[in-house]
Amino acid sequence: MFNEKTMELLVSSFPKILEFGLKVTLPLAATAFVLSTILGVLVAMVQYAKTPILSQFCRFYIWIIRGTPLLVQLMVAFYGLPLLGIHSNPFVMAVIVFTINEGAYSAETMRAAMEAVPAGQLEAGYCVGMNYMQIMWHIILPQAFRTAFPSLFNALISMVKDTSLASSITVVEMFTRTKQIAGQSYNYFPLYIEVAFIYLIFCTVLTFLQKKGEEFLGSYGIRK
């Protein structure tokens, strides 16, 4: 199976696959992760404030997104939005869908982290004359982010792997490029092993960064 011809194919295809990993896969995951974290924080803040109508809307959003597959969401956006006159290139569409999808999970992560902060700190903030946004920014969110850091970083690692689903809406990312090369050589299995190895490299690096981030937070007594 791994004869000389196959090895030559793997060596020649590695930089081609890696290029699309660095140019498309990682930027897609990073952009969607940043935007989804912002969205998750906003949704979590609404739920934390227990605003009646907005909180119910946020719960509905989370219910819909967490109850439907990401692949289906990609398909609905890609084929449905043009029917409404909304057109965008596949990469931007993928960023939007990944952001909305991960935002629902991040919202629950942040909500739980915010509720883990003692309620007395919220009351203390009001006692010293701070408004809700000031209390969130200076007291609640810093502590919540520290608690949620491992879970949020795990979400980033998962998102890097999930970007392969973007191939379903014609985004030429790392996995799509692998399929193109495999289709030209008709040698699928070794190339799929190779792209899996590259995904493993990306996730290993992110896992290392996660560990360093947790050590950094712990060195300042932030986790306790």
Per residue, the 3-state secondary structure of 36-77, as one string, reads: HHHHHHHHHHHHHHCCHHHHHHHHHHHHHHHCCCHHHHHHHH
- Cα 28 versus chain centre, distance: 9
The Cα 152–Cα 94 span in angstroms is: 20
pTM of the model: 0.89
| Confidence tier at 122 by pLDDT (50, 70, 90) | confident
Q: Coil, helix or strand for 159?
A: helix
The top-level CATH class assigned to 4-219 is mainly alpha
| Confidence tier at 123 by pLDDT (50, 70, 90) | confident
Q: Which of 25-29, 116-120, 148-152 has the lowest mean pLDDT?
A: 116-120
Residue 223 has pLDDT above 50, yes or no: no
Residue 222 has pLDDT above 80, yes or no: no
The residues near 9 (Cβ < 8 Å, ≥ 6 apart) are 185, 187, 190, 191
